[in-house]
Structure 1
Amino acid sequence: MPQGDQLDDVASIRKRPGMYVGDTDRSGVHQLLWEVLANAIDEHLAGRSRRIDVTLHSDGSVSVADDGAGISLDVDEGGTSWLERVLTTLHDTATADGHAPHVHLRVCHVGLCMVTALSSTFSAEVRRAGRAWRIELERGRVTSELAEIGSADGTGTTIRFEPDETIFATSGFDVEVVARRVREISALLPGLTTSFACERHEHGADLEVADLLASSRQGAREHRAPVKGEARHGEAVARVAFEWRNWPVAPSVIGYCNLDVSPEGSHIDGFRRGLARALGRRDHRQVYASLSVGLNAVLSVLVIDPGYQGPTKERISSQDARAAVAEATARGLERALESDPALRGHTARLTRPR
């Protein structure tokens, strides 16, 4: 890889960091972490990883470790490893190597080069074939070439970095934000165990979407247990959990698309349609208006390359997402209505003509 190309990419990112991470405040610092997390999540989605550990260190750095296959160490004709290329050059495709499935956390997704360029220190340790390898960078420049550092148990990648305080107004991480995000990811990805270091909160593989239902909601549940459903349609997988509480407040419906909160779009419409379908109704808007009293819901959809409306990518537009969420909602509610008389009575009261 020509040295000039590397410098061009790094210099471009450091000159206009806002183009890559949004604001250069704490939200930008978190965006660096989400980029690293996205790569670890890809390993899980590909079936190669079952655990991700996130640690906030006392020196201001953060590390993300996974038990996946480990980033490739293959060397090209010019003598540059794939690992170094990923860490020092931008790519203009969804992923550097075109792998799928892949998720993007938030709107920036230009790869790990963004993280190395905006970090004062960065290291990557890769465990493959019983050996461990390490490379170190500072502000996007390699300071310690890739080298074997000894034997290793298992496989995986550990990335540790410290955001550059000359770039970010606040280079520290918000503990609550990171802890909540790590917990959300575990709940939204069945089979994945995550841990967050600071206070060592571990979120097991048995965590599920229902665990994200707001615990602060007032009032008691109107029925036996949360309604849960799961379905796949095309390239979308949906999981939902919802309940009704005897407190007449505005509905709380939290939607996720590819692990990010997405408050509007096809998945929300699919949830409303699924409620109506389970009750044998077609007028989903009217049915939702009736059922929204005391409603508390969380719905998640994973979909490859969803469409978005608007520059902030907050409103998704995907027929697969709509269909998958509608199916998951309808299935879950139909099963619950069959087994829970209290739920049947409550939904009947809410939808009774007035």
Structure 2
Amino acid sequence: MHQMVFEVVTYAVDEHLAGHADTIEVTITADGGIRVRNNGRGLPVQVEESTGKPTVELELTELSFGLRARTGYWVSGGINGLGLCVVNALSSRLTVEIHRDGHRWTQAYEKGTPITALRRHEESSGHGTAIAFLPDADIFETTRYSFATLSERLQELAFLNGGLAISLTDERPERPVRYHHSDGLRAYVAHLSPYPPRLVHSPAIAFESENQDATIFVQVAMEWNTWSTGGLRSFANSTRTPEGGKHEQGFRSALTNIVNDHARRQRHLRADDEDITTEAIYEGLTAVVSVRLAHPVFEGSTGTKLGNPEVNAYVQEVVREHLTDWLDHHPNEAAAIIRHILNAST
């Protein structure tokens, strides 16, 4: 049931990634429903000749297996791109309001079926989409939304998409929350780190890069602290990948090689010393690796393991270039990190 919310939100995130939206407003309404509003371009309203139906109605009623190629990167909300039609089918009622092409447009549905045609209303200079729905009580055992569950995921999306403002309001009573993290993954790593922080270095290391043909975009943030086991979180197209995958493999491989190479170049390790182990390098490390790609392949028992081999190679390249550069240009912080790692290996 909560995934229904996230599926609608991913459409707005897609608009943000394409450069057309910077605000998403999620509301748990007084009747227990959900309203998601964004200031993107608005879902298309033109009639498709082959069906005689407006595009928005097709989005809300027809299955499309696999990720849809909208604009910019594809974003999977976890239902493998099946999209708004699934939300509509699982709702006792759903309404869509669109500001686009100089007018306000609306359409209403019950149990996935349109009960009104798409209607054009007064002129409007605005742009964006608002979708409101009520989960079907005949399908779900409970239709009560958890504020905490929604809040955690929406904050995560704000971290992963720097510059995107996401708000959550609960009208059961009102309980507003707004997330907007201009620092993106650097702020996310700080959020994940233990409090009070006992950092080996500050601020967190962060970098990003896009490949030449704009099919893979990589973001990484990381920092070491002295008193926690740390942890690595990875994402593909804003979706958590708890089973890891090629992006995690690329990060782990590059990190181990870089740390050992830097330690030897700076003579923290003698020629006959053994390499620093991966376990020691990860002691106290908190890291987030996020990739966006045009054609993600998800594998694993729950479909949350990224299988694209080209991502492994590109993540290694990005980490090798940027982390090596950071260590070389921050010698004091780099020395502190190596000392911390060596202490962890003893």
Corresponding position of 1:84 = 57
Aligned to 1:261: 240
Does residue 190 of structure 1 match 2:162?
yes
- Give 1:1-354 correspondences, 5 Å limit: 29-77=1-49, 79-95=52-68, 100-198=72-170, 199-204=175-180, 206-213=182-189, 214-216=192-194, 220-233=198-211, 235-247=215-227, 249-263=228-242, 264-279=244-259, 281=261, 287-330=277-320, 331-332=322-323, 334-351=325-342
8 Å contact kept, 2:103–2:123:
yes
Structure 1 alignment gaps of length 5 or more: 1-28
Identity in percent: 27
Question: Cα–Cα, structure 1 residues 150 and 55, in superposed 2: closer, same or farther, change >3 Å?
Answer: same
| CA distance in 1 between partners of 2:23 and 2:36 (Å) | 10
Could you tell me which amino acid in structure 1 is paired with residue 336 of structure 2? G
**TM norm structure 2:** 0.84
What CA deviation, in whole Å up to 9, does each residue of 1:10-52 have, x standing for no partner? Answer: xxxxxxxxxxxxxxxxxxx012112211211221222222222
Note the residue ranges of structure 2 that are not aligned, 5 or more in a row.
Answer: 263-274
In 2, Cα distance between equivalents of 1:207 and 1:342: 20
* In 2, Cα distance between equivalents of 1:229 and 1:102: 22
Determine the C-alpha separation between the residues in 2 that align with 1:57 and 1:168. Answer: 18
Deviation by residue 1:63-116 (Cα, 9 ceiling, x = unmatched): 111111111111134542111122122223522x76552111214421211111
* Residue aligned with 2:280, SS: helix
Return closer, same or farther for 1:115/1:332 CA change in 2, 3 Å cut-off: same
In the alignment, is the contact (CA less than 8 A) between 1:45 and 1:102 conserved in 2?
no
* 1:22 corresponds to: none
Change (3 A) 1:226 1:142: same
Q: Which stretch has the larger CA shift, 312-321 or 210-219? A: 210-219
**More displaced 10-residue stretch of structure 1: 169-178 or 101-110:** 101-110
Moved segments of 4+, more than 4 Å: 97-100, 351-354
Using the size of structure 1 for normalisation, the TM-score is 0.83
1:279 partner SS: helix
Task: Give the aligned partner of residue 271 of structure 2.
Answer: none
Distance verdict in 2 for CA 1:162–1:106, change over 3 Å = same
**CA-CA distance at 1:203 after TM superposition:** 2.1
Number of aligned residue pairs:
323
> What is the Cα deviation at residue 246 of structure 1?
1.0
Structure 2 CA distance for partners of 1:129 and 1:308, relative to 1, 3 Å: closer
Q: Report if the CA contact (8 A) 1:126-1:133 is conserved.
A: yes
The 1:319–1:348 alpha-carbon spacing in structure 2 relative to 1, beyond 3 Å, is farther
Deviation of 1:208 after TM superposition, in Å, equals: 0.7
Q: CA RMSD in A?
A: 2.5
